[in-house]
Structure 1
Amino acid sequence: MSALSQTHALKHLVDTDATWRLLRADNAPVIAALLSEHLGAESRRLPTDELYERLDHDLEALRGHGFELPQSAQGYCAEWRKAGFLTRRPAEEARGETFELAAGALGAIRFLEQLAAPRQTVTESRLASIGVQLGQLAIETDPDATRRLEQLHAQRDRIDAQIERIHSGDLDTLDAARALERVRDILAQAEDIPSDFARVRAEFETLNRDLRARIVESDDTQRTVLDEVFRGVDLIGESDEGRSFAGFSALVLDPAVGATFDDDIERVLARDFAGELTSAQRRYLRRFIGTLKDHSGEIHEVITAFARGLRRYVQSQDYQRDRVLRGLLRTALAAGVEASGHTRPYQPTTLHLELSAVALGSVGAIRLHDPADLDAGAPIEEHVAGVADLEALRALARATEIDFAELIGNVNAVLAEAPQCTVREVLERHPVSQGVASVVGLLTLAANQGTAPGGIETVRWLGSDDRARAADIPIYRFTGRLL
């Protein structure tokens, strides 16, 4: 490829690729950090309302540190979806929609993470992995049976020699540093899987759109796609992408493979060198095969939904309507091109077009009519000031305050007949006039000016509702005149 053609290809990539678009965005650090925090870890799909709430909280914190972020979370999410960083889909388990990272955003975040924490690319483990895969590929693709048998015999001899060394006690285990290097290399490859799944889903969506476009744009002499759908051919499942994913999914869903994979992970994480891994890395490895199964199931549902939708689209004859609409649009465009030579685009016409439906708008702009908004409220009442009633004021004071003057007089009256008395004796000779408030007042006076010899006594009185009341209180004695 020449420099000129490569320049044009890269220029097209700059304009169309979401990964490059995110990396050269003005707020690329903010975008990558927010999306990675909320959609790049274990929760790769969130309801729109929950994501808005989380992002609004983070945006407030960022503004407090000097970042200029004038929009709300909902506004930024709309921009990021339009730029290809986010994918919005209908929620499967509840009403509403969800957001998840698009393949381009996953690739950009992965690239930035590698820049922030670079890993060694030239390692023994990576070279050994390439060598094993290359050797296996050479054996499995060799058409010469003799040479293939020689390679297999040599491989068997190496395994037999290794078995003999182990039987003889020569057990050579991998040292901790090299083992840690290999497991980190495995993690680096495993962390690329989510972006691969997002890319596969995007490829199936593109394939579905292309097949529908081919059905609409093909005429009666080009009915290949249409005829295959009528014959029941699963064009999505039989495509190159579908067959490739089917092979991968069969391997992931194989119970024997899954059990072996989980067992190997548990044994590796039980080694001493695994202590150097972070808790997130260990958790990622333990959940890796389950994550693959979940993503594989989602892709299977997408393939099934696209295949059924395509078959329904053809069998319901909806494509005929779209063909007619396509023909009318092309006719209108051709007429517009022809008229553009002698008619200005802004030239007024006498054509009056009646819309067949109401104008489109956001439901959030609709406000219901509330008659209560026009209600002036209850009429204003005017209260005329009058002369205060002394007896009414006294009654109000007795209802809100304890009459200590009356209680002191009652205690002193009993003490005039006896050298000492208790609260119960005062209440027996002078019934309360304020209910339990009088009892509380007597206890307050006794605690402040009486003595407490110890013991319990029962006091009785009539409440304000003329019902008998009783309570056990500590014994207090009044031994002198109250002041």
Structure 2
Amino acid sequence: MDVDYDTLQALRKTHPAWKLLVADHSPLIAAFLQHTFIVPNQRRLSRADLASALEDLLFTLRETQGKDAFPRSAQAYLDDWAGEDKGWLRKFYPQGSDEVHYDLMPAAEKALSWLESLIQRPFVGTESRLMTIFDLLRQMVEGTEKDVQVRIQELEKRKAAVENELALVRSGRVDILDDTAVRDRFLQVSQTARELLGDFREVEYNFRRLDRKIREQITLWEGSKAQLLADFFGERDMIAESDQGKSFTAFWDLLMSPARQEELTGMLEKVFDLAAVKALSPDRRLKRVHYDWLSAGEHTQRTVAKLSGQLRRYLDDQAFLENKRIMQVIQQIEARAVKLRDQMPQGSIMEMDEASPDIHLPMERPLYKIPVKPRITDTVTLGDGSDIPADMLHDIVFVDRLTLKQRIRTALQTRDQVTLAQILFDHPLEKGLAELVTYLTLAAEDDNAWFDDTLTHRAVWTDAGGIRRQATFNAVIFSR
């Protein structure tokens, strides 16, 4: 990127991160957002909770800075920070809730990350960064090498180095990292882990921006619907096929591996037990950072799924309005035709010169087929003409697969195996048989789950009519 005067001048006027840094109360804004969203890894907070936390901070600051230091109320500050001219918070209504919620915008998180980098660190580690550069360069060189002989030579060198190291270890000579090297690497891991959480929020923001752009196109679209859908799916695929999209997909697939999760958990446990790491007084949340990655990544995936569903309903509404308009035009034509039925014009209406005859060959006629007469065994009764309640159209059972997957994943965090009966004991069925069938479908699609035909379990629930139902099924076992 060419950072020239004009570019920086435009960023200074429009970029939310720059606006936050030069705001009148930037220390208040940055400190509050850091401790409410970044530190606890919160993806959204209700207006009541966020306003209460801000009121507590304002009360504390007014005692030290004076009563007139921050004259506005907490809710007024939140509305200002979420305004179009600021863009530090996203103000929205979650699905199924009538209370306003807030989430941190990626631009504000970038500003907070830069401010955090200004604080003097215990020491500036360079060895781990240099090793990271060497490792990345080696991966690029080896990963793009097409010559088989060159690859074999590199593997032989690596094999010789490993055998030499094994010989030294067997002889009792073990090289151990000193405390400085351990702290250097730990700080690098900590920084990278926090940056990954910010990447999830930016990916989610990109999909929300695409959704808003498509809605604007639908509203102002004057061409064909096929071209509109082609443009939409083209841009959606462009995000998925971009470098950021491919990297995010690869990261998510790697993180979802149970073996990788166990490996991360074990390594973090050992690292936090090191004396050099304990001396740094590290944030204990880093010990479970991979679960924070899972939570943030699943929130991003859920958001993308909701946006896709909302966009589909939006397109359906547009199609319904178009069809309604077509029916209105047809009804107007029919009404006009009825009015003109008794006013037939005299004489010829249309003349055709030398109309061509229709040619029907004998062999083109199909053979005779006996018509199939439908048999209706049930009695068909006529309605009494009363209106059917429209609420029945909305009584459709919807089971959220992502919620059920999260329950299974949460149960497997503390144990290697868990049965479906144990999950249902902790989370009783709310949607009845449909929810149970969804659990069984997830088990059938999961390579790490199996059905035990020798055991049976029973699920019990109460339907909408207050009737107690039960179902018996083969035991289902989920494993990591």
> Paired residue for 2:51?
52
- Which secondary structure state, in structure 2, belongs to the residue aligned with residue 87 of structure 1? strand
CA contact (8 A) 1:180 1:274 kept: yes
Judge conservation of contact 2:41–2:292 (CA < 8 Å) in 1: no
Listed one character per residue, the Cα deviations across residues 400-435 of structure 1 (whole Å, up to 9, x for unaligned) are xxxxxxxxxxxxxxxxxxxxxxxxxxxxxxxxxxxx
Q: How many residues align?
A: 317
Please tell me whether residue 164 in structure 1 is matched to residue 162 in structure 2: no
Q: Which one-letter code corresponds to 1:51 in the other structure?
A: L
**Structure-2 residue corresponding to 1:24:** 22
Bigger CA radius of gyration = 1
Question: How many percent identity over aligned positions?
Answer: 26
Residue in 1 that maps onto 2:77:
76
Is 1:250 matched up with 2:248?
A: no
- Judged with a 3 Å threshold, the aligned counterparts in structure 2 of structure 1 residues 15 and 60 are, in CA distance, closer, same or farther, namely same
Aligned-pair distance for 1:132? 0.9
Q: Would you say the 8 A contact 1:165–1:171 is kept in 2?
A: yes
2:100 to 88, 97, 100: 97
- The 2-side partners of 1:94 and 1:320 are apart by 27
Residue 448 of structure 2: aligned partner: none
Task: Map residues 320-359 of structure 1 onto 2, 5 A cutoff.
Answer: none
Aligned AA (1:57): D
Distance change (3 Å), C-alpha of 1:123 and 1:297: same
Distance in 2 between residues matched to 1:244 and 1:74, nearest whole Å: 38
Q: Secondary structure at the match of 2:103?
A: strand
Partner letter of residue 159 of structure 2?
R
Change (3 A) 1:225 1:167: farther
Q: Which residue of structure 1 lines up, in the alignment, with residue 435 of structure 2?
A: none
What secondary structure does 2:9 align onto? helix
Q: CA RMSD in A?
A: 2.9
Structure 2 unaligned segments of length 5 or more: list them.
326-480
Q: Distance in 2 between matches of 1:319 and 1:157?
A: 70
Change (3 A) 1:242 1:193: closer
Q: CA deviation at 1:22?
A: 0.6
The superposition leaves residues 72-118 of structure 1 with CA deviations (integer Å, 9 ceiling, x where unpaired) of 00000011111111122334685523222211221112211221234
1:151 aligns with 2:154: yes
> Which residue of 2 is the match for residue 181 of structure 1?
184
Closer, same or farther: CA 313–275 of 1 in aligned 2, 3 Å: same
What's the counterpart of residue 357 of structure 1? none
8 A contact 1:208–1:236 mirrored in 2: no
Are the aligned partners of 2:125 and 2:184 in contact in 1 as well (CA < 8 Å)?
no
| Counterpart mapping for 1:460-471 below 5 A | none
1:178–1:208 CA distance, 2 compared to 1 (3 A): same
Q: Does 1:263 align with 2:274?
A: no
Closer, same or farther in 2 for the Cα pair 1:139/1:9, shift >3 Å? same
Distance 2:96 2:228 in 1: 34
Aligned residue for 2:102, secondary structure, equals: strand
Corresponding residue number in structure 1 for 2:445: none
Structure 1 residues 2, 57: CA separation in 2 closer, same or farther (over 3 Å shift)?
closer
Comparing 76-85 with 97-106, which one deviates more in the overlay? 97-106
SS in 1 for 2:82: helix
Residue 7 in 1 paired to residue 10 in 2?
A: no
Alignment check: 8 A CA contact 1:236 1:307 kept: no
How far apart in 2 are the matches of 1:319 and 1:244? 39
Q: Residue 341 of structure 1 corresponds to which residue in structure 2? A: none
Q: Secondary structure of the residue that 1:69 maps to in structure 2?
A: coil
- Cα deviations across residues 272-296 of structure 1 (Å, max 9, x unaligned)? 21211325x2x12211010000011
Does residue 85 (structure 1) correspond to residue 83 (structure 2)? The answer is no
**Residue 312 (str. 1) matches residue 313 (str. 2):** yes
TM-score relative to the length of structure 2: 0.60
For normalisation by structure 1, the TM-score amounts to 0.60
Q: Which runs of 5+ in 1 are unaligned?
A: 325-483
Q: CA deviation at 1:247?
A: 2.0
The answer to whether the aligner puts 1:212 opposite 2:215 as a matched pair is yes
Asked if 2 retains the 8 angstrom alpha-carbon contact of 1:234 and 1:307, the reply is no
In 2, are the aligned partners of 1:102 and 1:198 still within 8 Å (CA)? Answer: yes
Query: Which residue number in structure 1 is paired with residue 368 of structure 2?
Result: none
The Cα shift of 1:310 comes to: 2.5
Residue 299 of structure 1: aligned partner? 300
Instruction: Decide whether the 8 Å contact of 1:46 with 1:100 is kept in 2.
Output: yes
Q: Secondary structure at the match of 2:65?
A: coil
- How far, CA to CA, are the matches of 1:166 and 1:213 in structure 2? 65
**Structure 2 letter corresponding to 1:265:** L
Q: Which residue of 2 aligns with 1:62?
A: 61
